[in-house]
């Protein structure tokens, strides 16, 4: 807790520098603006609201639950042409095709996941699983992710996430596939199943838990209050969860996200995403080395206005964090599970 050291991340096969004493240094850098508290519940000019007109000219239905539609500005398209052949190994390109969807969690713009009811969160999980199944029938990778808050690049306060399906395995997927495959081969047990069992026993990085899930600040965390959401039992993909596991997932997500908001009494910004076994052609392959999990990467460090910057040493050498994962977990663990609002 007092002396710098490096920790190994077996999931990414890299290291992070832990320098807990640095959080004591005075801060005269950038201060972020807290998120707005006066978001209107419905705004006809907001393209994610029920009945609003989007940039494509499409009019949203007057939806009352979740709502999924094609991204009007997709990063991936299903009919993109192949790039020209490379004339040198240092200048390689490959085909990239896919689809991008947007999913609204709720019709109200002023409601975030921690403020939603358990049935409403469960509906989000069901929609995630449905999309993972539908898109995963043909695409090798389906990335479900949520950018929450302007600090994490979210351009619209309405509660929503994105789902991108790609014709290729992205870098992080390839990396986690390799490391988890190696661990199963060498140790005979999926890496993150073994890791969840270890963290459940040690408890020093545990934030919340229930019968099916646990949330920890991982031993190798990079972001200050980064967490890892893990099943207690072996499950490869989101769509493989039972009804009871989805119910308990809704509960533990709500508990975690309430703690996040309570930390600095602000709508807590983060980027999160699900990682599970590849799909499409991989559905016919042995993917037992995979364990479903969700990453939460929040940027805030000291307060609602002071964030952690990944610059300089982090960009040019390796990741570095300013408090230990154990300190972060203890602080999150001690927070109430009743929302400050």
- Residue ranges covered by each domain of the chain: 39-80+94-334
Separation of alpha carbons 196 and 205, rounded Å: 11
275 among annotated binding-site residues: yes
d(C-alpha 172, C-alpha 183), whole Å: 16
Q: What is the pTM of this model?
A: 0.96
Residue 243 sits at φ, ψ, to 5 deg, of: -60, -45
The residues that are catalytic are: 160
pLDDT for 2 beyond 80 = no
On whether 273 is known to bind a ligand per the annotation, the reply is no
Domain 39-80+94-334 adopts which CATH fold? HIT family, subunit A (3.30.428)
Model confidence over 243-293: pLDDT tens digits?
999 999 999 999 999 999 999 999 999 999 999 999 999 999 999 999 999
**Residue found under tokens 């991936």:** 76
**pLDDT for the residue 250:** 98
296 assigned to a ligand binding site? no
How many other CB atoms sit within 10 Å of the CB of residue 145?
14
Tell me what pLDDT residue 25 has. 61
Q: From the CB of residue 44, how many other CB atoms can be counted at a distance below 10 Å?
A: 11
* pLDDT tens for each residue of 170-228: 999 999 999 999 999 999 999 999 999 999 999 999 999 999 999 999 999 999 999 99
Place 37 in a pLDDT band, splitting at 50, 70 and 90: confident
Crossing angle (nearest 10°) for helices 118-136 and 243-264: 120
Report the interhelical angle of 191-202 vs 171-187 (nearest 10°): 80
Arithmetic mean of pLDDT over the chain: 95
| Total residues belonging to the chain | 341
Degrees (nearest 5) of the Cα angle 216, 170, 241?
50
Q: pLDDT value at position 24?
A: 64
Tokens of 122: 């469960």
Q: Is 24 annotated as a binding residue?
A: yes
Q: Which pLDDT belongs to residue 27? A: 57
pLDDT at position 16 is 97
- pLDDT band at 150, cuts 50/70/90? confident
At 39-90, the pLDDT tens digits run: 999 999 999 999 999 999 999 999 999 999 999 999 999 999 999 999 999 9
% of residues, the chain, pLDDT over 70: 97
Interatomic CA distance for residues 44 and 42, integer angstroms: 7
Checking DSSP bridges between strand 67-70 and strand 141-148, what pairing results, if any?
A: unpaired
How large a percentage of the chain has pLDDT more than 90? 88
pLDDT, residue 302, reads: 86
Residue 304 corresponds to which tokens in the numbers above?
């609602």
């Amino acid at each position: 807790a007092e002396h710098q050291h490096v920790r190994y991340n077996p999931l990414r096969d890299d290291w992070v520098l832990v320098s807990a004493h640095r959080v004591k240094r005075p801060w005269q850098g950038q201060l972020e603006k807290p998120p707005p508290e006066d978001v209107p519940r419905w705004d006809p000019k907001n393209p994610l609201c029920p009945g609003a007109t989007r940039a494509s000219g499409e009019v949203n239905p007057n939806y009352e639950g979740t709502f999924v539609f094609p991204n009007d500005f997709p990063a991936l398209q299903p009919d993109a042409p192949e790039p020209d052949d490379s004339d040198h190994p240092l200048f390689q390109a490959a085909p990239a095709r896919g689809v991008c969807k947007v999913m609204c969690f709720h019709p109200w713009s002023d409601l975030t996941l921690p403020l939603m009811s358990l049935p409403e969160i469960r509906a989000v999980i069901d929609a995630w699983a449905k999309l993972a199944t539908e898109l995963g029938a043909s695409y090798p990778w389906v990335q479900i992710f949520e950018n929450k808050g302007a600090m994490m690049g979210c351009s619209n306060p309405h509660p929503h996430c994105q789902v991108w399906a790609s014709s290729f395995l992205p870098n992080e997927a390839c990396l986690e596939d390799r490391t988890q495959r190696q661990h199963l081969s060498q140790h005979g047990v999926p890496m993150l199943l073994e890791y969840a069992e270890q963290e459940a026993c040690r408890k020093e990085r545990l934030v919340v838990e229930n019968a099916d899930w646990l949330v920890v600040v991982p031993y190798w965390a990079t972001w200050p209050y980064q967490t890892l959401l893990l099943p207690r039992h072996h499950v490869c993909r989101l769509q493989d969860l039972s009804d009871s596991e989805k119910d308990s997932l809704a509960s533990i997500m709500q508990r975690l996200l309430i703690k996040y908001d309570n930390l600095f009494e602000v709508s807590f910004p983060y980027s999160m995403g699900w990682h599970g076994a590849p799909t499409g052609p991989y559905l016919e392959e042995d993917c037992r080395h995979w364990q479903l999990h969700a990453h939460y990467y929040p940027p805030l460090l000291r307060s609602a206005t002071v964030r952690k910057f990944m610059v300089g040493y982090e960009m040019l050498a390796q990741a570095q964090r300013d408090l230990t994962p154990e300190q972060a977990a203890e602080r999150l663990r001690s927070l109430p599970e009743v929302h400050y609002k």
